[in-house]
Amino acid sequence: MDPIPPEAFLAAYPDAIRSLAEELRAVVRDAVPDAIERVRPGWRLIGFDAPAGRRQAYFAYVAPEPAHVHLGFEHGVLMRDPGGQLQGAGITRQVRWLTWRPGDTIDAAQLRTLVREGLRVARLSRSERYEAAMEREDAG
């Protein structure tokens, strides 16, 4: 099956949602220029992978919904989040996200920092992520 272009995937959403999603996609691509963008239709999102040695690291996604758009991070629970912006604690064990609604302002500079942090964590080895999770558990 041929991959679905992100623009075709987003065409089904209202203009305001599509615009937010395009802006978030641009932030991710700007923060991680070698990111590989791929529509994941089963998850109804646009996922981002980046090279991590011999493998690809899935690190972020843009997930449009009818009323809002999420920018999420696969290993968000392990990310440094000094402002406490990431949502999802108590809902998921691993993934964290931010949400925008039409009319909200996207702070691209601040988001680039979070995107790069999401990539840093995703590029950790499985054992490094486990160790980070244990340290987090001990601290919390």
Whether 31 is covered by a domain: the verdict is yes
Whether 43 is covered by a domain: the verdict is yes
Give residue 100's Cα distance to chain centre.
Answer: 13
Number of domains observed in the structure of the chain: 1
Residue matched to tokens 């099956």:
1
Q: Which CATH number do you get for residue 59?
A: 3.90.1150
- The model's pLDDT over 63-122, given as tens digits with 9 standing for 90+, comes to 999 999 999 999 999 999 988 999 999 999 999 999 999 999 999 999 999 999 999 999
Which residues form the domain of 86? 6-139
Report the predicted TM-score, pTM, of the whole model to 2 decimal places. 0.92
Give the per-residue pLDDT at 57.
Answer: 94
Query: Could you write out the three-class secondary structure of the chain?
Result: CCCCCHHHHHCCCCHHHHHHHHHHHHHHHHHCCCCEEEEECCCCEEEEEEEECCEEEEEEEEEECCCCEEEEECCHHHCCCCCCCCECECCECCCEEEEECCCCCCCHHHHHHHHHHHHHHHCCCHHHHHHHHHHHHHHC
Whether 56 is covered by a domain: the verdict is yes
- The model's pLDDT over 21-75, given as tens digits with 9 standing for 90+, comes to 999 999 999 999 999 999 999 999 999 999 988 889 999 999 999 999 999 999 9
Whether 121 is covered by a domain: the verdict is yes
Whether 1 is covered by a domain: the verdict is no
